[in-house]
Structure 1
Amino acid sequence: MNGMYVQDEEEYIGFATLPEQVHRKAVKRGFDFTLMVLGESGLGKSTLINSLFLTELYKDRQLNNVEDRIHKTTQIEKKQLEIEERGVRLRLTIVDTPGFNDSVNGEESNKPIINYIDSQFDQYFKDESGLNRKNIQDNRVHCCLYFVSPFGHGLKPVDVDMMKKIHQKVNIVPLLAKSDMLTPSEVKKKKAKILQEIEQHDIQIYEFPECDSDEDEEFKKQDQELKLAVPFAIVGANTVVEVNGKRLRGRVYPWGIVEVDNPNHCDFIRLRQMLISTHMQDLKDVTADVHYENYRATYLADQMKTGKERNKLKRDSTPNFEAVMDTEKLLQQKEAEIQRMQAMLTKMQAQLETKNNSNNNHIESSA
């Protein structure tokens, strides 16, 4: 058996409860999740968030007029709430970006978003490197829901530019916003166009992990449906309407009702399932193991480079340092040689005086 001990079926040590211990500890501590919503104004970002988490975070928000939006810069708005479900607590942070893509200066609208993502990495790195690492709160952005407008031929240049600047910093999940404005065939074409442009511009979006071989067939089927739904065609609505005695969330149009929770009408249910029920932990893992590690490696490399440049600058600022040291050494040697010669001269003078005195004494005694 190569020294391996096989436990008797009647014996019980207790380590089989380790998963339960980990579960209890995790549930007691609770979970952190940060979700960023990104896209131009008027695409239903606030409504979708309220629909996803059954909250009214943005019930008082009003959309600015066009003139105000043009002159408005991108802002970062954070809203935090704690949700509890069946004894499990989720500390949810929603990062909204009102003003993005509204300003005439697209470059300026990007900076606050990039700076915010980087600042959360930086803060986590400082906390991780500090003395009190036990109670670190993870505020890194775990997922970015990127809203693509249905009014166009696909991705706009500003969408491509923004995605390329953040795709190595955060998990991007593209959404086709307000899909109820399109026919089913238009939704299908628009999805294909968005995916084609994402591939064309080498934009990295969140990649679903492969299912384990031992997963049940139902889970594999659901996972495949989620992958095929990207970009998710979404409709957000908090209005409850009654149809044939049944209450449901949806939007009422002259031609009928779009049901938010009907998978035949939109991908809202699939998005919520992916984001909350099946892939929330993987989004956190990819953030920690890929995006944060990339940031950390780049940060440390930059620090080393800065240190080398500082040392080089110090050396360059005293270019004759070695020459000065050599000159000083030569002066010291010359001074030592002069002192030695002076000592020899003093000794010779003393010897000469002694000899003269001896001769004088000899002459006097002879006389």
Structure 2
Amino acid sequence: MPLEFAHQHNGQFPDPGPWKHPEPRPLELTAPLGLESLPSQRFTKVKRSTFGLNLMIVGESGLGKTTFMNTLFNTDLKEEILPRNPQSSQTVQIQPAYYELVEDGVLLNLCIVDTPGFGDQLNREHNLTPIMEYIDKQFEEYMAAERHPGFRKSIPDTRIHAVLYFIAPNGHGLKELDARALKTLSTKINVIPIIAKADTMTVEEKVSFKSILLRDLENHHIKTFPSSYSDEVDGAEELFQHIPFTVIGSDSVALVGNKQVRCRSYRWGVVEVENAEHSDFVYLRELLMSTCLHDLVETTHNVHYHQYRGDALRAMGRPVSILECDDTYESQIEGTKLQNKQEMERKEEEIRQMFVQKVREKEVALREREEKLNAKKAEMVAELEQYRALIEAEQREVDELMTLSRSGTISKSSSKLFKAK
């Protein structure tokens, strides 16, 4: 663009910024165009695509994690690994299993990552190491695929979208292992705390245990999904009150009333899994499948993966700067604008205070000068009055002498005196 053209049209065509289009001009249609069919076209295309959900199950043995997962997805997720002695391994094993679920033409690729051995050893110091290494490895592989030109169109997403952390219903709050694991995991991934075997507690015990866990989560600064990501999640505000979720799992189906339901039968009665009065299972399923499945994937990508990616790039020597191709460009621009605004307000306040100070100093100097001038004026007026009084006295003497001279009665001595004067 020539320099003259730039000067002539300065400000008329502002730069919208990187990866942005100029603001469009709204128009009115003179006849129907068929725009109302665009959402249905998008819906049809999205429905044909495959959705993915990667869940990691973390918790001590004996909390019914496998039974719960079967109940959650209304299917039989068979274990490929035979049951083992909890003390037979000294490390936590990572066992991903992949499934396909189809409902009404919608395909869900489900990955369940189990962590057998977690919390089973006497020495639990390194229980988290294999889990964190697996999570970082998935981030690393996704980042490598992004940088590879051959995978630009389709990148297999093996990143963990959520961790379902099972807490034993002990009624005494978080154990040291649970608190350390939740705090570490929440910095890397979406964490959903779950109180297992809710049928072992009364309603009052559930309410009390929930309040204790919420207090412990706040004291340890542990982020939980979705309450800690309210800016990223829409429509899940009603589910916040049920965190942490109390759940029940069961593979048994019984006839209750006129309906076949999943339940657990005891001598004193039947506990229905999907009854909101018995557990929070329905709210957890609504969170995972009906409300926040897309938000889980988006939060994993926009928050946790971007944090990992930024740390990895900075470790490779990339400086922290505003780059046009950076994914966090908008947030950095807004932060820079806010910082500049605060700096300008601070400087404006300093200039105002400096101006007020100088005005006050000038006022004091002018007041002192005015007082000096008034004092000098008073002194000169007093001196002028003295001279005036002296002149008036001398004028009277002169008048008297002139009067005596005209009358001819002036004496010789008086004439000499008059000449002397």
> How does the TM-score come out when normalised to structure 1?
0.75
Does the 8 Å contact 1:42/1:63 carry over to 2? Answer: no
One-letter amino acid matched to 1:23? F
**1:261 corresponding residue in structure 2:** 274
Q: Does 1:97 align with 2:115?
A: yes
Q: Does 1:30 align with 2:30?
A: no
**Structure 1 counterpart of 2:77, from 57, 71, 85:** 57
> What is the CA deviation profile of residues 35-76 of structure 1, one whole-angstrom value per residue up to 9, with x for unaligned ones?
1111001111111110111121136766544543xx442111
**1:183 corresponding residue in structure 2:** 202
Q: What's the secondary structure of 1:107's corresponding residue?
A: coil
Q: What's the secondary structure of 2:316's corresponding residue?
A: helix
Q: Does 1:46 align with 2:59?
A: no
C-alpha separation in 2, matches of 1:94 and 1:56: 13
Q: Does 1:279 align with 2:298?
A: no
> What is the CA deviation profile of residues 184-235 of structure 1, one whole-angstrom value per residue up to 9, with x for unaligned ones?
10011111111100000111111346599xx9xxxx6xx4441110000000
C-alpha separation in 2, matches of 1:5 and 1:235: 54
Does the 8 Å contact 1:36/1:141 carry over to 2? Answer: yes
> What is the CA deviation profile of residues 310-362 of structure 1, one whole-angstrom value per residue up to 9, with x for unaligned ones?
xxxxxxxxxxxxxxxxxxxxxxxxxxxxxxxxxxxxxxxxxxxxxxxxxxxxx
> What is the CA deviation profile of residues 60-112 of structure 1, one whole-angstrom value per residue up to 9, with x for unaligned ones?
766544543xx442111111111111111111111111110111221221111
C-alpha separation in 1, matches of 2:92 and 2:288: 25
**2:244 corresponding residue in structure 1:** 231
Over 3 Å counting, the alpha-carbon distance change for 1:3 and 1:260 in structure 2 is closer
C-alpha separation in 2, matches of 1:4 and 1:76: 55
C-alpha separation in 1, matches of 2:257 and 2:36: 52
Written as runs of structure 1 = structure 2, the 5 A alignment for 1:77-226 is 77-132=95-150, 133-208=152-227, 223-226=236-239
Over 3 Å counting, the alpha-carbon distance change for 1:271 and 1:8 in structure 2 is same
C-alpha separation in 1, matches of 2:44 and 2:24: 34
Over 3 Å counting, the alpha-carbon distance change for 1:211 and 1:264 in structure 2 is farther
Sequence identity (%): 39
Q: Does 1:300 align with 2:313?
A: yes
C-alpha separation in 1, matches of 2:24 and 2:175: 65
Over 3 Å counting, the alpha-carbon distance change for 1:5 and 1:303 in structure 2 is closer
Query: Over alpha carbons, which structure has the higher Rg?
Result: 2
- In structure 1, list runs of 5 or more residues that go unmatched: 307-367
Over 3 Å counting, the alpha-carbon distance change for 1:191 and 1:62 in structure 2 is farther
One-letter amino acid matched to 1:25? K
Shift of 1:29: 2.4
One-letter amino acid matched to 2:290? S
Does the 8 Å contact 2:171/2:205 carry over to 1? Answer: no
C-alpha separation in 2, matches of 1:285 and 1:112: 25
Q: What's the secondary structure of 2:32's corresponding residue?
A: coil
C-alpha separation in 2, matches of 1:72 and 1:19: 54
Q: What's the secondary structure of 2:76's corresponding residue?
A: coil
- In structure 2, list runs of 5 or more residues that go unmatched: 1-22, 320-421
Q: Does 1:8 align with 2:21?
A: no
Does the 8 Å contact 2:198/2:279 carry over to 1? Answer: yes
Over 3 Å counting, the alpha-carbon distance change for 1:161 and 1:121 in structure 2 is same
**2:388 corresponding residue in structure 1:** none
Shift of 1:247: 2.2
Over 3 Å counting, the alpha-carbon distance change for 1:59 and 1:138 in structure 2 is closer
Does the 8 Å contact 1:33/1:91 carry over to 2? Answer: yes
Does the 8 Å contact 2:87/2:121 carry over to 1? Answer: no
**2:340 corresponding residue in structure 1:** none
Does the 8 Å contact 1:142/1:170 carry over to 2? Answer: yes
Over 3 Å counting, the alpha-carbon distance change for 1:9 and 1:190 in structure 2 is farther
> How many residues align structurally?
294
| Higher normalized contact order (CA 8 Å, seq sep 6+, divided by chain length) | 1
